[in-house]
Amino acid sequence: MAKAKQQTTTEMMVELAKMFVSTDNAEPAELQAADKKVGKTKERRLEWAVNFAQQSPDIMTKADVYNSNLELALFLYPPLALTKEPVPYNASSFINPQRIPELKERFLKHIKAAATGMGFSFPVSHSCINVDESGISYHITAMAGTKEYFAAQLEHAELTLAQLIGQHWGYIGFCDPKKHGCGRYFLKSRSDREFCSKTCVNRSTTYRQRGKEPAA
């Protein structure tokens, strides 16, 4: 049952994608590679989103932007990994790259709120929420190509992130520079982890042993 429904979703998206004129295609192999980067488990997907939100736009080449946009599409529509035919790279299933900095900002805002233990909320429009044996999923109900559709695309991404954050509450950490951490947000493997990596733990320990307590 679940398989049949996934296939339908993919077919629907490919059909939708064809409505737009596009000369570029995302090849199935590229989509599968992006799917691998994003990961299958909820933890890995949330980790991907936390890293995505912190990618610096300044150091990204055109190819990086393209690859990161494919990964975003797989984050939002995992069934895309199953497609056997190229998917036109356009504004139906893929978010306009120009709007990605704005999306990253929104992601980071939610991630920061979660790391401080505060709740957060945001409005959504033009989305339909489905609940079934595979969990909760979202569909954009606005007409493809409209202003509402493009707004709903970003909200759809926020909903996907929010759901993962909610399922891992207490596990978004901030590697605090005041304690000689690197200043990045990360997904904790245990709720009491303070630093993102061994490197950051070691740096902090070294400073503390030298008696260089950072200014509060």
Site for Zn ion in 133-162 (CB under 5 A): none
Stretch 84-143 residues interacting with Zn ion (CB under 5 A): none
Residues 172-191 that bind Zn ion (CB under 5 A): 175, 181-182
Nearer to Zn ion, 115 or 200 (CB): 200
Residue 165 burial class via C-beta count within 10 angstroms: exposed 0-12, middle 13-18, buried 19 and up: buried
Closer Cβ to Zn ion, 107 or 185, answer by number? 185
Q: Is 211 left (phi over 0), alpha (psi -120 to 50) or beta?
A: left
Q: Do residues 178 and 214 lie in contact, with contact meaning Cβ atoms separated by under 8 Å?
A: yes
125 vs 191, beta carbon nearer Zn ion = 191
- Only one of the segments 34-42, 59-67, 78-86, 197-205 lies at the binding site for Zn ion (rule: CB under 5 A); that segment is 197-205
- Cβ closest to Zn ion, residue 95 vs residue 187: 187
Work out the widest C-alpha separation in the chain, in whole angstroms: 64
- Residue 200 interacting with Zn ion (CB under 5 A): yes
Q: Does 50 bind Zn ion (CB under 5 A)?
A: no
d(CA 201, CA 205): 6
Q: Which two structure tokens, joined as six digits, stand for 203?
A: 């740096």
Check residue 196 for interaction with Zn ion (CB under 5 A): yes
Q: What angle do CA 145, 155, 17 make, to 5 degrees?
A: 30
Q: Which is nearer to Zn ion, 5 or 184 (CB)?
A: 184
List residues near Zn ion by CB under 5 A.
Answer: 175, 181-182, 196, 200
